[in-house]
């Protein structure tokens, strides 16, 4: 898929790296707080992080963040914290894990220009359920999956215990198939 004309960040993997590292840092923060290890950042056309979010499903609700709710995913935390999205087509959403259908759909419906994730989610990721490029609501959102193999492996190792805990056996089997080295030894 070609770069969007108003894309804030080139497709060069090295350029994505600091934003994906920040998403992974937020994922570790979520894990330490008792939530699923997923983090996200929203970046504007100048390359500035305008919002940060992390999974908060396992945490209490606060005035600043939705918590203790099924919708308290990292990407939704970003969207709730930023409020009304301005110039959405020039924004890039970076996530540590491929967005689920709810979060991917929200990014597309908000008309975010690009979504980049560090690690595929072979069970719960939206790409398993829909083809972004073929869905009318999502075809204007550029998708850049796993541009950095080192960070992809890091994200897979981080999320693997959650995948084993949260997903049915079929989902865990897909994770083991997609990431055999990163899931080895996960009990």
* Residues identified as active-site: 75
83 vs 80: CA distance, rounded Å:
5
Residue 175 near residue 43, CB atoms below 8 Å: no
Residue 120 near residue 146, CB atoms below 8 Å: yes
Residue 101 near residue 128, CB atoms below 8 Å: no
CA torsion sign for 20, 25, 26, 28 is positive
DSSP H helices, 6-82, are 13-32, 74-82
Residue 36 near residue 99, CB atoms below 8 Å: no
């Amino acid at each position: 898929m070609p770069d969007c004309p108003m894309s804030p960040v080139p497709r060069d993997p090295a350029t994505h790296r600091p934003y994906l590292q920040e998403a992974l840092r937020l994922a570790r923060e979520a894990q330490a707080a008792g939530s699923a290890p997923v983090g996200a950042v929203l970046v504007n056309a100048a390359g500035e992080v305008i919002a940060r979010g992390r999974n908060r499903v396992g945490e209490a609700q606060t005035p600043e963040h939705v918590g203790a709710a099924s919708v308290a995913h990292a990407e939704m935390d970003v969207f709730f914290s930023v409020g009304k999205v301005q110039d959405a087509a020039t924004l890039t959403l970076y996530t540590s894990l491929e967005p689920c259908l709810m979060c991917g759909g929200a990014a597309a419906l908000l008309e975010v220009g690009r979504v980049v994730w560090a690690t595929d989610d072979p069970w719960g990721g939206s790409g398993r359920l829909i083809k972004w490029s073929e869905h009318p609501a999502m075809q204007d959102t550029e998708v850049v999956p796993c541009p950095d193999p080192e960070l992809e492996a890091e994200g897979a190792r981080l999320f693997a215990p959650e995948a084993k805990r949260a997903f049915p056996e079929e989902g865990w089997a897909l994770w083991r198939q997609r990431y055999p080295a990163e899931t080895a030894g996960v009990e």
